[in-house]
Amino acid sequence: MSDNIKDILSCTGKVFINTFLFLFACFLGGLIYLSFLSKDLPSLEELQQWNPEEVTKIMSFDMEMEDYQEDMHVVTLDLYQIQVLAFQISMFHLFLELLI
């Protein structure tokens, strides 16, 4: 009986070691893949100094196209505002469903 228990513990230990090695290899593979994907991304300093210009074409009353340049401003939304907006949208959809 003790040989049977030793065999079970030996097999269980091998399963845990193999599982750990597999998960570790997957983790290392994921890190290598992410580093490969992120090599072409801009630096954080470039992203913080991002100041795009938007060119819009406006048609005048006499049907001539005019270029209109405007500086875009980055607006940050608070997470609370996003959640309130999502709630309002869901309530509006519920209201529309009740009308139909």
Model confidence over 3-56: pLDDT tens digits? 676 666 677 888 889 999 999 999 999 999 999 988 888 888 887 887 666 666
Tell me the whole-structure pTM to 2 decimals.
0.41
Distance CA 92, CA 35 (A): 43
With a CB cutoff of 8 Å and minimum separation 6, the contacts of 52 are: 72
Q: How many CB atoms lie within 10 A of CB 91?
A: 10
pLDDT in tens, 67-81: 666 655 666 667 667
Joined tokens for residue 63:
């049907």
Distance CA 15, CA 13 (A): 5
pLDDT in tens, 84-96: 888 888 888 888 8
Residue with tokens 């300093």: 45
